[in-house]
Structure 1
Amino acid sequence: MRQLSALALAAALALPLAATAMAEEARVPMINVTGTGTVEAAPDVATLSIGVTTQGETAVAALAANSAAMEAVMARLAAAGVEARDMQTSNLSVNPNWTGYDSGTPTISGYVAANLLTVTIRDLAGLGPVLDAAVQDGANTLNGLSFGFADPEPLLDEARKEAVADARARAELLAAAAGVKLGRILSISEGAPEGGPVPMYKAELAAAPVPVAAGAMDVAASVTIFYEIAE
Structure 2
Amino acid sequence: MKINGFWAGLGAGAVIALLAITGWLPNPPWDKGSKPKGSKEMTVYSDALILLPAEGFIASAELSGYGTSQEEAVASLSGQLSALRSELGRLEGLESLSFEADELDVQGYKQQRCEGVDGSDQRRRLDSCPPSRYVASVLLAVTAAPAREMGNVIALGTDLTDGDFSFDQYIMIDQIDGRARAIEKAIATARAEAEVLSAASGLKLGRVLEVDPQGAAPSEEYDMAEDDVIVVSASRIAPKYELDLDDPKLPIEVSLGVTFAVEPIDEE
TM class by shorter chain equals: 0.5 to 0.7
**Counterpart selection for 1:31 from 3, 28, 42:** 42
> Does structure 1 retain, via aligned residues, the 8 Å contact 2:62–2:137?
yes
Q: Where does residue 258 of structure 2 map in the other structure?
A: 225
Q: In terms of mean alpha carbon deviation, does 53-62 or 215-224 score higher?
A: 53-62
RMSD across aligned positions (CA): 3.8
Structure 2 counterparts to residues 18-167 of structure 1, below 5 A = 23=33, 25=35, 30-80=41-91, 86-96=97-107, 107=127, 109=131, 110-124=133-147, 126-167=149-190
Q: Could you give the per-residue CA deviations for residues 15-68 of structure 1, whole angstroms, max 9, x where no partner exists? A: xxxxxxx84528765433222222223334333332312344444443322111
**CA pair 71-178 structure 1, distance change in 2 beyond 3 A:** same
- SS of the residue corresponding to residue 195 of structure 2 reads helix
Cα distance change of structure 1 residues 106 and 96 upon mapping to structure 2, 3 Å threshold: farther
Distance 2:139 2:202 in 1: 62
Residue 134 of structure 1, CA deviation: 1.0
Q: Distance in 2 between matches of 1:30 and 1:216?
A: 38
With over 3 angstroms needed to count, the CA separation of the structure-2 counterparts of 1:58 and 1:158, relative to structure 1, is: same
- Return the match for 1:216 from 249, 259, 262: 249
Unaligned runs of 5+ in 2: 1-31, 112-124, 221-239
Report the Cα distance in structure 1 between the residues aligned to 2:146 and 2:65, rounded to whole angstroms.
Answer: 30
| Structure 1 length-normalised TM | 0.64
Greater share of residues in helix:
1
User: Could you tell me which residue of structure 1 aligns to residue 232 of structure 2?
Assistant: none
Q: Deviations over 1:160-196 (max 9, x none)?
A: 1101111222333444566655444331123456997
Deviation at 1:127, TM superposition (A): 4.3
Q: Distance in 2 between matches of 1:178 and 1:53?
A: 71
Write the deviation string for residues 135-174 of structure 1: whole angstroms up to 9, x where unpaired: 0111522242433344433222221110111122233344
Percent identity of paired positions between Structure 1 and Structure 2: 19
Q: Distance in 2 between matches of 1:23 and 1:44?
A: 45
Q: CA deviation at 1:229?
A: 4.6
Q: Give, in whole Å, the separation in 2 of the partners of 1:175 and 1:194.
A: 31
| Cα displacement (A) at 1:94 | 0.8
Shift of 1:106: 7.0
Q: What is residue 210 of structure 2 aligned with on the other side?
A: 187
Q: Quote the Cα distance in structure 2 between the aligned partners of 1:229 and 1:189.
A: 18
Query: 2:41, 2:259 within 8 Å by CA — same for their partners in 1?
Result: yes
Q: Choose 1 or 2 for highest CA Rg.
A: 2
Larger deviation: 158-167 or 43-52? 43-52
Q: For 1:230 and 1:220, how far apart are their aligned partners in 2? A: 31
Contact 2:48 2:253 in 1 (8 A): yes
3-state DSSP of counterpart to 1:212: coil
Alignment TM-score, normalising by the size of structure 2: 0.57
- SS of residue in 1 equivalent to 2:187: helix
Count of residue correspondences: 196
